């Protein structure tokens, strides 16, 4: 298990919990808006030892409510399951962030009871996936991950970054793909300088109206609205 970053506490990455966030290097996508790019390039990887991270988590018991494993794409890590098993043995609830490309790994995590919350990015309607993630993704794997997560019995969310190029029809199409989901989150896209894009409230509200009846709950995250 390679770890390239540790955020010692976060109030926003695990709903309702103060969490530590662990970042793994490498990703099998190349989303044009990715802001974790430094984690994706082997040249820039400065790895942190797993033992150091586990010792940190051991010492923070009682101060942290949970652990988020994020990326890059954590399901690419060969040592993911043993690592999660170790974190679980410390008593922490775990949230896993994934792009949904490795349903077998997601299934193993679920079958072994190693994750308590999954956040899966649903990048685009399937017909536009390649436009956003600039990679030939096996779309059947995305669908398999959605099925696994919806039927998992644990808490979860699907989330879409409102990237330029996605329109309301695309968002409705994604909502249909995750029909009945507990929670669908629309999140703000950032430009190459890291500045969040601004959307008109009318624009976002019209999108929310369209998808409210398709999923159980919908939220916006990190949005700033223009007049």
Residues at the site binding ligand SF4, with contacts judged by CB under 6 A = 27, 29-31, 34, 36, 71-73, 99, 121, 133
CB atoms within 10 A of CB 59: 10
* Nearest distance in Å: CB 98, ligand SF4: 9
- Min separation Cβ 39 and ligand SF4, Å: 7
Q: β-pairing, 5-14 with 17-23?
A: antiparallel
Q: How far is the CB of 49 from ligand SF4 (least distance, A)?
A: 22
Would you say 32 or 203 has its CB closer to ligand SF4?
A: 32
Q: Which is nearer to ligand SF4, 171 or 214 (CB)?
A: 171
Nearer to ligand SF4, 6 or 54 (CB): 6
DSSP letter assigned to residue 190: B
Q: Which residues 6+ apart lie within 8 Å of 30 measured at CB?
A: 40, 133, 134, 135
Residue number with CB closer to ligand SF4 (54 or 126): 126
Provide the minimum distance between the beta carbon of 201 and ligand SF4 in the complex, in angstroms, as a whole number.
26
Which distant-in-sequence residues (6+ apart) come within 8 Å of 145 by Cβ?
98, 100, 101, 102, 103, 106, 120
Grouping H, G, I as helix, E, B as strand and the rest as coil, residue 143 is helix
Short-list 106, 95, 113, CA closest to 17: 95
């Amino acid at each position: 298990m390679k770890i390239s970053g540790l955020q010692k506490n976060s109030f926003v990455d695990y709903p309702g919990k103060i969490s530590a966030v662990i970042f793994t290097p490498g990703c099998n996508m190349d989303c044009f808006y990715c802001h974790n790019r430094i984690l994706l390039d082997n040249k820039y990887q400065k790895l942190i030892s797993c033992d150091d991270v586990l010792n940190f988590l051991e010492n923070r018991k009682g101060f942290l409510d949970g652990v988020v494993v994020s990326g890059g794409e954590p399901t690419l890590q060969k040592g993911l399951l043993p690592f999660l098993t170790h974190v679980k043995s410390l008593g922490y609830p775990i949230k896993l962030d994934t792009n949904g490309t490795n349903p077998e790994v997601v299934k193993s995590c679920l079958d072994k009871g190693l994750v308590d919350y999954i956040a899966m990015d649903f990048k685009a309607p399937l017909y536009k996936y390649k436009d956003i993630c600039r990679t030939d993704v096996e779309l059947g794997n995305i669908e398999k991950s959605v099925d696994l997560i919806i039927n998992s019995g644990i808490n979860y969310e699907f989330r879409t970054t409102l990237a330029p190029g996605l329109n309301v029809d695309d968002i409705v199409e994604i909502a249909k793909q995750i029909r009945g989901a507990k929670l669908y989150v629309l999140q703000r896209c950032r430009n190459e300088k890291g500045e969040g894009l601004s959307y008109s409230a009318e624009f976002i509200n019209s999108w929310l109206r369209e998808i409210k009846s398709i999923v159980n709950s919908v939220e916006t995250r990190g949005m700033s609205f223009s007049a």
